[in-house]
Amino acid sequence: MNARKTFARRVAVAALVAGWLVGCGSRVDQAHFDRIENGMEQARVLEVLGEPTSSSSVAIGSFSGTSSVWKSRDATITITFVNGKVAFKTFAKEGERSKERTAEP
């Protein structure tokens, strides 16, 4: 009887862990990319995509620019921020050409 309870607990824990892992899936996909809008604040982008895989910044006078990249196994999102707002964004799936959208003047 005790072995059945132990087995049931292990199955329950495994199910919870599996559910948690599925919920923590990659945000680097077309659906999340489509939620990013030109002119969106950098903080809001981080809420949608999470922390980038890599990022580099430059500042000259009152101008600042940051290029951030989010990568998964099969896709890459690249966003360029100018003064803290989305100016350019691209989405590329492995083996496909990137889709680029730029901010309107």
Q: State the pTM of this model.
A: 0.69
- Is residue 14's pLDDT more than 90? no
- Please write the tens of the pLDDT for every residue from 89-103: 999 998 766 555 555
Q: Mark out the alpha helices in 24-71 (DSSP H runs).
A: 30-35, 42-49
- pLDDT for the residue 94: 85
Supply 40's token pair.
């969106």
- Please write the tens of the pLDDT for every residue from 58-88: 999 999 999 999 999 999 999 999 999 999 9
Pick the CATH number of 27-102 from 3.40.50.170, 1.10.10.10, 3.30.1450.10, 3.30.1330.10: 3.30.1450.10
CA distances from 86 to 6, 66, 76 (A): 52, 9, 16
Max Cα–Cα distance, the chain, nearest Å: 73
Confidence class for position 11, pLDDT limits 50, 70, 90: very low
- pLDDT for the residue 19: 40
- Is residue 33's pLDDT more than 60? yes
Give the burial class of 17: count Cβ atoms within 10 A of its Cβ; 0-12 exposed, 13-18 middle, 19 or more buried.
exposed
Name the percent of the chain in helix, strand, coil, to the closest 5: 35, 35, 30
Q: Domains of the chain: which residue ranges?
A: 27-102
Chain centroid offset of residue 69 CA: 9
- Is residue 3's pLDDT more than 90? no
